[in-house]
Structure 1
Amino acid sequence: MSASTLSAPSPDLLVVDPHWWRQAAVYQIYPRSFYDADADGLGDIKGITAKVPYLKELGVDAVWLSPFYPSELADGGYDVADYRNVDPRLGTLVDFDEMTETLHAAGIKLIVDIVPNHSSNQHAWFQEALAAEKGSAARARYIFRDGQGTNGELPPSDWVSVFGGPAWTQVPDGQWYLHLFASEQPDFNWANREIRDDFLKTLRFWSDRGVDGFRIDVAHALMKDLTEPLPSQAQILQLEKLNNGTNPLWDRDEVHEIYAEWRALFNEYNPPRTAVAEAWVDQSRRARYASTEGLGQAFNFDLLMADFEADSYASIVTKNLAESVATGASSTWVFSNHDVVRHATRYGLPKLADPAKTQDGKDWILAGGAPTELNRELGLRRAKAATLFMLALPGSAYLYQGEELGLHEVADIPDADRQDPAFFRNKGIEKGRDGCRVPLPWTSSETSFGFSSAKAHLPQPAWFAQHAVSVQNALEGSTLNMYRKALDLRRSLQTSEELAWITNSNPDVLHFARPNRWNVITNFGTTAIELPEGTVALSSVPLEDGKLPADATAWLV
């Protein structure tokens, strides 16, 4: 069905609710891998517009669009060359406006990614800085420093970038510039008023085009203390443990001055524009990003990092709901995104020596992702149970494209086809994030599984055929249809942000109640359990003689 066949929005969709985001189901689209409408192997804006009927049927409240700006794709679009335009390979501003209008007509809000910590090295300002002399206004927009050593031949410090390798790169005249990520992503100097004013202009540009909210990339990195002598990498790692705002590179208190300005701008609109921070900070530091004077929400990655265990889930939910009450923000819940191993795969991996690495799949990636290590059936079973648990929680739920199809991580991408800078900067030791960014399978047999009539920009495995939308559409009990039913029920049941834990004698079972007599039971154990009285509205797997099987969740009403 084309976008033009969408029916007019119902009257209730035209009512503007300023608090729509508090319990929204938000679907993240990685545009280059969603759907290709112009047959070049790369997903695009028109492709998103064409699939709005799919999104409407899925039942999401909003779409979060990963970067679609002009980019050399040194980091999957997070190296932005122009913040107020569309990458010509993905479309035009006219295409963007059509997509926004079509989403809104379907009752779906639009959130776009903003990447404020760094630009692309192809950005006009950075090219101007390279051509300018030391100490110029052009260089003051970024972080340039003289090097160490007799002739400045050594970097200003031994800092290591997030993607591996040095965090400084030397330019022809001998100076060095800072990049906390890839060398193609020079960091902005946020102490410079010109940077702040230009980003306000960018936020207004997209807000005026109808964007409903913003996801702020690396929100905790903008402000930096570069007072010399610069600390060593070892000293920075020690400061990270303090969680008190003293780290020179991450989570400094001054960053909230920036977001206070952004909030003032957001509040000029009716309804106010929303924002959510990607801030990998300690829970004790998260509240300021989510405050009503700041961005309003901050991602909570706690469930994403947790094992599939009752105690961990209960503790995480209790702490985060208490935090939401204290701050006035709503909680955010997420299991998968464009930066981590898909949770259907994480939950099917064996536990390894380092729990921190096991939880987010890093050990599996570092080991090359041997398929024999993965219990696919168990992983998907637990992922479905975890998702139903999460979708019933108070707060907003963030979903990542393809999880509704039960997709696993694609581990065996040939090295020649990989794109993630983490892979190249770590000399292939770390496989990177391409495995969760492989284009979606829409059909089981067409070229590129219906993603494109051309070869997809990342190779799709043969097993994608059984996960295709066309296969799951007509399959009762498919992962896709479970998501559709869950999101439909969630919309009717989610009437408040209250939750009450129901005690039981089984430590492997979590049971909580929501208003509307909505009860949620998750069995983390190994044997089936009796369910309390009530009508089972939905379960992640079929019941066994009326009992809830292991690794499963049921909703009772």
Structure 2
Amino acid sequence: MLSSVAAPSALLPGASPVPVHEASAERDRQWWRSSVIYQIYPRSFRDLHGDGIGDLPGITAEIPALAELDIDAIWLSPFYKSPQKDAGYDVADYCSVDPIFGTLEDFDALVATAKKHGIRVIVDLVPNHCSDQHALFQAALAAPENSPARDMFIFRDGTGENGENPPNNWQSHFGGPAWTRITNPDGTPGQWYLHLFDSTQPDFNWDNPAVHQEFERILRFWLDRGVGGFRVDVAHALIKKSGLPDWGGRADGASIEGFPGHEAPMFGQAGIHDIYRSWRKILEDYDGDRVLCAEATIDPLDRLTDWVRSDEMHQAFNFAYLHHPWDAGDLRSTIEASLKAFDKVGAPTTWVLSNHDVVRHVSRFGLTGGHARSGDGLGPEDNQPDHVLGQARARAASLLMLGLPGGVYLYQGEELGLPDHTALDHGHRQDPTFHRTNGERLGRDGCRVPLPWTADAPSFGFSSTGKAWLPQPEEWRGLARNLQALEPASTLSLYRTALRLRRELSLGHGSLAWWPEYDAEGVVAFLNNGVLVVMNMGTSSVELPAGELLVSSAPEAGRDGFLAPDTAVWLRLA
């Protein structure tokens, strides 16, 4: 229901919006430039098999609920055949469905059902590494050194008198060395293989044309089944610098003093771009405007845009935005830098606040005392978030994000306002990061807990048997979807309203101009297609200009002509 704001102050005399990003009518036809894509983590979405692990039929059953969010596509995290050492990112067969998730027929049914509701299905592609159970790696282990089978992966002799030391000093993202030594068929110590992640995830050798051919086959397999595109995992890591030199910086390639990320020898090598140019050509052989999205952890933003030039990827995740602190100046700078950088190459900017690898933004924004742990999760021994504060800020941040021009990625459960499970008992943890670091890093299990669908059902409706591969916190009962669907002030209702208005008002295809009167007040405010988006990140209320209140992050926000701290509104100006 639209309501009017009392008429407070107008724009300051002489002040005018400051343009940053202009809309382009010529590009409006390309759906991915303004898309809303909803990430599904299959094992935690909905379980119809009753084994405690979400499955493809469970996703298909809830497509109508997702359609109510006015999304353009769903992105499925890996569902391929896998030993599940890293929740499916260790792929044993790229062209089959793991039985825990269903069958290829289930996948086809999912695509067909989604299509009926106007929703595309994007799948996760993991080209940097596979499972050590993959047939190609098993063949490499059985083959002699310097054989074609070995050359599909990165095998090297060790250093030291008897090759007892790794070939270089690279470290795994999950902790420990990035190299593992094999044992030859005759029982003698053999070569070492590279794995930037878990030891069960050997890296492919992308210097080998046979690897290129294999993945082109995989792309066409899924395109032929009707997928709308691919989210490419660790898209910046495929090619390694010749000679594999030592690296003294971070394992993930993020810049630190003395070791800028652009010098990391395992990331961002120039040859990667030829791979994606060839993939783009494959996608263009198919109708329906299929897309490629890069998960590329690259800084600064000007370097990230190399992945989304006109003949490469369509989108790249904006991690600078995902990690922004609760600070108005920092957020404004990140938004402006993002738009300007991506505009230079004619690509849309993407916005995201949560995913399966980070602490959910409800919990992040509720941390008032900082996060001392160096890892990527929160546990019961850590400073606990202020849930009420986190909810308020997360709702405001989500509303602001949905008002930005460009593409948006949502992570399952954020429309319910789910926090991380920060009290998860360590005995339940399955993330390889936790085990490889002996608990020093908690890993990502806290943001991957199964969703609550029905408050009074076993496992909150996730599974009819009450099983769940990770336990759900009791406080999630009040956040169950069935309760929120009936509550006009719920987070689910906020998302539904904002996403509907975003489409109706063409905000994704819009422009952005800063609203200058708030520059020094801890407020982020911009004009997009006639809608003023205002978020108060400061400590005191601010006066709003006259206008029609379209949607607010809190029930009373903006209704008296003032905007309280930690809230946001959309106004149609008078």
Q: What is the TM-score when the length of structure 1 is the normalising length?
A: 0.92
2:499 is aligned with 1:487: yes
Alpha-carbon contact 1:35-1:440 (below 8 Å) kept? yes
Q: Deviations over 1:309-345 (max 9, x none)?
A: 1111111111111122211110000010000000000
In the alignment, what sits opposite 2:536? 523
| Deviation (angstroms), 1:391 | 0.4
Which of 254, 261, 265 is residue 278 of structure 2 equivalent to? 261
| Deviation (angstroms), 1:530 | 2.0
2:218 is aligned with 1:216: no
2:132 is aligned with 1:121: yes
Q: What is the CA–CA distance in structure 2 between the aligned matches of 1:51 and 1:140, rounded to whole Å? A: 43
Q: What is the CA–CA distance in structure 2 between the aligned matches of 1:400 and 1:244, rounded to whole Å? A: 27
Give the structure, 1 or 2, with the largest relative contact order (CA under 8 Å, sep 6 or more).
2
In the alignment, what sits opposite 1:335? 353
Which of 97, 114, 136 is residue 103 of structure 1 equivalent to? 114
Q: Counterpart amino acid of 1:428? A: G
RMSD (Å) for aligned C-alpha atoms? 2.0
2:287 is aligned with 1:275: no
Alpha-carbon contact 2:247-2:264 (below 8 Å) kept? no
Q: What is the CA–CA distance in structure 2 between the aligned matches of 1:264 and 1:225, rounded to whole Å? A: 25
Q: What is the CA–CA distance in structure 1 between the aligned matches of 2:348 and 2:113, rounded to whole Å? A: 27
| Deviation (angstroms), 1:290 | 1.0
Alpha-carbon contact 2:30-2:289 (below 8 Å) kept? no
2:549 is aligned with 1:549: no
Q: What is the CA–CA distance in structure 2 between the aligned matches of 1:63 and 1:319, rounded to whole Å? A: 27
Q: What is the CA–CA distance in structure 2 between the aligned matches of 1:137 and 1:431, rounded to whole Å? A: 39
Q: What is the CA–CA distance in structure 2 between the aligned matches of 1:364 and 1:233, rounded to whole Å? A: 19
Q: What is the CA–CA distance in structure 1 between the aligned matches of 2:420 and 2:127, rounded to whole Å? A: 29
Q: Structure 1 stretch 460-469 or stretch 219-228: which is displaced more?
A: 219-228
Q: Secondary structure, in 3 states, of the residue corresponding to 2:503? A: helix
2:326 is aligned with 1:326: no
| Deviation (angstroms), 1:527 | 2.1
| Deviation (angstroms), 1:65 | 0.6
Task: Map 1:289-328; keep pairs closer than 5 Å.
Answer: 289-328=307-346
Alpha-carbon contact 1:334-1:397 (below 8 Å) kept? yes
Identical aligned pairs, as a percentage?
A: 48
Q: What is the CA–CA distance in structure 1 between the aligned matches of 2:238 and 2:65, rounded to whole Å? A: 37
Alpha-carbon contact 1:366-1:429 (below 8 Å) kept? no
Task: Map 1:379-398; keep pairs closer than 5 Å.
Answer: 379-398=390-409
Q: Deviations over 1:408-428 (max 9, x none)?
A: 111222222111000000101
Q: Counterpart amino acid of 1:485? A: T
In the alignment, what sits opposite 1:58? 69
Q: Structure 1 stretch 291-300 or stretch 22-31: which is displaced more?
A: 291-300
| Deviation (angstroms), 1:216 | 0.6
Q: What is the TM-score when the length of structure 2 is the normalising length?
A: 0.89
Alpha-carbon contact 2:379-2:424 (below 8 Å) kept? no
Q: Secondary structure, in 3 states, of the residue corresponding to 1:84? A: strand
In the alignment, what sits opposite 2:547? 534
Q: Deviations over 1:355-406 (max 9, x none)?
A: xxx4xx8558677344763110001100110010010000001000011111
Q: What is the CA–CA distance in structure 2 between the aligned matches of 1:235 and 1:414, rounded to whole Å? A: 29
| Deviation (angstroms), 1:351 | 4.3
Q: In structure 2, do the counterparts of structure 1 residues 186 and 419 end up closer, same or farther at CA, with 3 Å as the change threshold?
A: same
Task: Map 1:36-115; keep pairs closer than 5 Å.
Answer: 36-115=47-126
Alpha-carbon contact 1:344-1:408 (below 8 Å) kept? yes
Q: What is the CA–CA distance in structure 2 between the aligned matches of 1:39 and 1:265, rounded to whole Å? A: 39
Which of 21, 34, 52 is residue 23 of structure 1 equivalent to? 34
Task: Map 1:366-385; keep pairs closer than 5 Å.
Answer: 368-370=379-381, 373-385=384-396
Q: In structure 2, do the counterparts of structure 1 residues 158 and 246 end up closer, same or farther at CA, with 3 Å as the change threshold?
A: closer
Q: What is the CA–CA distance in structure 1 between the aligned matches of 2:38 and 2:492, rounded to whole Å? A: 14
Residue segments in structure 1 that go unaligned for 5+ positions in a row: 1-16, 353-357
| Deviation (angstroms), 1:244 | 8.0
